[in-house]
């Protein structure tokens, strides 16, 4: 019996992070195809397009079971923050989720755990749910520091406003993102069990895996104890591949 899964009893979340990809025509096509394919599925499905495409994708998702998510948000709801998007606006235009703390934001925009906690708290305050990302670099893993890094990120990046309802965690080992190198099932199981054990106050919180997930490896990953869904990058840009991943959760 798969105890990990039975203990958590959650609906899997299959989230597509389109990153900085897609133009409007392709986005509409992709979102439309996902909506159609999702009708027969039981998982929760979320699409996270680039900010300027949120309105357009929202229109495609209307009256469907596919939710809309952003890829990032600011920690203030208004002000002189050129180029940023507020949680209040994301909520207003129909987002249910926002990703925070993605490793690409950490690496290219110098975001640290303190800032990520502020963003998550601001998102929660307006009623958005967060997909809060954590994960170690290749060097941290080879130095044997994976669990230490994860513990520190959990301690600092999760604000007090977090509940099992308004937050999903995503374990994304940095070295597995966009590289085709998937973490071993034993490694995924170890980190996910560690995360679950570290958060007794958030018992039952969903924990996604992310990093080179595709239709061909999704079933095995989704069957791992304490894996409650996946956060998909590259493979979410093709409807068939993304739906194949969602099918694997059925």
| CB closer to ligand 13P out of 22 and 88 | 22
Which region among 56-64, 112-120, 195-203, 232-240 touches ligand 13P (by CB under 6 A)?
A: 232-240
Which of 54, 231, 239, 243 forms a contact with ligand 13P (CB under 6 A)? 231
Whose CA is closest to 56, among 24, 88, 10? 24
216 binds ligand 13P (CB under 6 A): no
- 171 near 132, Cβ under 8 Å? no
For the bound state, the minimum distance from the C-beta of residue 191 to ligand 13P, rounded and expressed in Å, comes to: 15
Distances (CA, A) of 71 to 9, 113, 210, 216: 27, 16, 14, 25
Other beta carbons within 10 Å of 58: 17
Which of 46, 191, 195, 213 forms a contact with ligand 13P (CB under 6 A)? 213
Which of 66, 233, 248, 249 forms a contact with ligand 13P (CB under 6 A)? 233
For the bound state, the minimum distance from the C-beta of residue 181 to ligand 13P, rounded and expressed in Å, comes to: 9
By rule CB under 6 A, what string of x and - marks binding of each residue 82-111 to ligand 13P?
Answer: --------------------x---------
Active site (annotated) includes residue 172: yes
Q: Give the binding site for ligand 13P (CB under 6 A).
A: 17, 102, 172, 177-178, 210-213, 231-235
The residues annotated with a catalytic role in the active site are: 102, 172
């Amino acid at each position: 019996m798969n105890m990990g899964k039975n203990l958590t009893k959650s609906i899997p979340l299959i989230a597509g992070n389109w990153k900085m990809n897609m133009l409007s025509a392709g986005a509409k096509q992709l979102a439309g195809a996902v909506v159609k394919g999702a009708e027969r599925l039981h998982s929760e499905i979320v699409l996270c397009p680039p900010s300027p495409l949120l309105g357009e994708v929202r229109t495609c998702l209307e009256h469907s079971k596919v939710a809309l998510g952003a890829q990032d948000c600011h920690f203030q709801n208004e002000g002189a923050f050129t180029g940023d998007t507020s949680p209040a606006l994301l909520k207003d235009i129909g987002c249910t989720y926002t990703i925070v703390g993605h490793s690409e934001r950490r690496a290219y925009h110098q975001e640290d755990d303190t800032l990520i906690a502020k963003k998550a708290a601001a998102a929660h305050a307006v009623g958005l749910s967060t997909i809060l990302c954590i994960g170690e670099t290749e060097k941290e893993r080879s130095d044997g520091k994976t669990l230490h890094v994860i513990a520190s990120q959990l301690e600092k990046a999760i604000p007090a406003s977090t509940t099992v309802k308004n937050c999903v965690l995503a374990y994304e080992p940095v070295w597995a993102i966009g590289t085709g190198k998937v973490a071993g099932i034993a490694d995924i199981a170890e980190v996910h069990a560690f995360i679950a054990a570290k958060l007794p106050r958030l018992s039952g919180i969903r924990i996604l895996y992310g990093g080179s997930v595709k239709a061909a490896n999704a079933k095995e990953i989704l069957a791992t104890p304490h894996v409650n869904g996946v956060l998909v990058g590259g493979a979410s840009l093709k409807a068939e591949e993304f739906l194949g991943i969602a099918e694997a959760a059925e």
